[in-house]
Structure 1
Amino acid sequence: MSSKESTEQLAAQVAALCRSLGVSPEPETAIRIAGYLDLLTQWNRKTNLVGPRRADEILHTLVADSLPLAGFLESLPLADDPLCLDLGAGAGLPGIPLRCLWTRGRYYLVEVREKRCVFLRLAVGRLDLARTAVLQVRAEEALQQLPDEEIADQGADLILSRAFMPWQELLPFVRPMLTPGGQVVVLANEPLPAVLPEAWRPVESRSYTIRPGREESTRWFWALQAEA
């Protein structure tokens, strides 16, 4: 099978998965996500970015979270041109598929490991992701390394975390990095707790269901805001 045929087949799988999650991407968007999957699969054989998985497995277990996330972010009360930090970006999940669907603001993939940053920069460039860049720094240094000092001084409007650290540790970690009214979005395997730490309030929570195998898996997005 040629590389083009492989990408076309993956694009069809991406489109089908999107539809099952209530997402309606443009055909070229499905092709871009398929191109990312192709690139990730190639690199994964050499550098083990996401464990020993095939492209279709990566799609249904890891990329699946990125697809409904775009709609969730669009529903949040964010600034018109938000500054977004994706902490512990790893192999670009959820960030790179997300940016194929959701293009608002300036989006920084923050990752300290060099090999992953090399891959992320290659993927961002090859997919021509608008206003998306890679920062090879420790997460706590991300704002200080932004190219625009004035923006950095204002703080982030949105911080995302998939598995960077447990959410109980994440909230105090990111609070100094957020602009007043800024939000943190957590990708979780459990519903939003009834009681949050002091000085945090829920903005929105949404569940979604994926089917990585025969069994369904329900996951959640939480959007939280630090009180003034």
Structure 2
Amino acid sequence: MQRGLIGPREVPRLWERHLLNCAVLSEVVPEGVTVCDVGSGAGLPGIPLALVREDLKITLLEPLLRRTNFLTEVVELLGLDHVTVVRGRAEEVMGKLPPVHVVTARAVAPLDRLATWGIPLLRPYGEMLALKGDTAEEELKAAATALSKLGAVETSILHVGEGIVDPMSTVVRVEVGESPGGVRFAAKRAKAARTGRTRRRR
């Protein structure tokens, strides 16, 4: 709360509403994959996910310096050797960070906007898992056209955390095909890869 990462009203319900709510996302994350938590903020859902899943390689992506400083402190304090903190926006790191199997996000942006940031960070046939609330179905319908253009091939709404959190956590899953982000982002990735090879040759 002193860091301005959560409001004072959230303190009494921090455990169930925020930490457990995020940790149960682990139920739908495959084993041994790479994960990028976009707009990680206070480390949600990335930190709780890391605590319960040591098999994952997780990147916490956050643009604000004070938040990345906080995240770095937490990662070091908890000894989370499988977690890396990166300062930057999703659109800035595309082509610089290796593509991941799974992108996660919570309370970052409406689904259509979130997808434009998150999907291009995925490997072919990866998936984006967005923790959402009561608006999940509405957001998914509104984002249908944008998701299609970004290479999404299947979408679904999942409910996780049965017997752990009440109500259960709602997750929007967006699965992509062989060209995450569509043609436009495929071209950007190719250009970034060529630039990287040129720099290495120098």
Answer yes or no: same fold by TM over 0.5. yes
Map residues 21-40 of structure 1 onto 2, 5 A cutoff: none
Please give the root-mean-square deviation of Cα atoms over the aligned residues, in Å: 2.6
**Distance (Å, rounded) in 1 between the aligned partners of 2:57 and 2:29:** 14
Q: Any idea what SS the aligned residue of 1:62 has? A: helix
For residue 137 of structure 1, what is the aligned residue in structure 2? 88
The Cα offsets for residues 144-197 of structure 1, whole Å up to 9 and x where unpaired, read as 554xxxxx2xx2211111122210122233332221101111111135446833
Matches within 5 A, 1:69-218: 69-74=25-30, 81-146=32-97, 152=98, 155-190=99-134, 191-192=136-137, 193=140, 196-197=144-145, 198=148, 199-202=151-154, 205-208=157-160, 217-218=167-168
**Structure ranking higher on relative contact order (CA contacts 8 Å, 6+ apart):** 2
User: Which residue of 1 is the match for residue 187 of structure 2?
Assistant: none
Give the secondary structure class of the aligned counterpart of 2:124: strand
Matched, 1:59 2:15: yes
- Structure 2: gaps (5+ residues): 179-202
- Whole-angstrom distance in 1 between the partners of 2:177 and 2:9: 41
Distance 2:100 2:23 in 1: 23
Unaligned runs of 5+ in 1: 1-43, 75-79, 147-151, 211-215
Greater mean deviation of Cα atoms: 94-103 or 170-179: 170-179
| Cα separation, 2, equivalents of 1:49 and 1:71 | 26
Answer whether contact 2:125 2:175 (CA < 8 A) is retained: yes
Q: CA deviation at 1:141?
A: 2.2
Q: Which residue of 2 aligns with 1:37?
A: none
TM-score, normalised to structure 1, is 0.64
Mapped partners of 2:14, 2:25: distance in 1: 16
**TM-score (norm. length: structure 2):** 0.71
Paired residues, number: 168
Q: Distance in 2 between matches of 1:73 and 1:203?
A: 15
Question: How far has the Cα of 1:55 moved from its partner?
Answer: 4.5
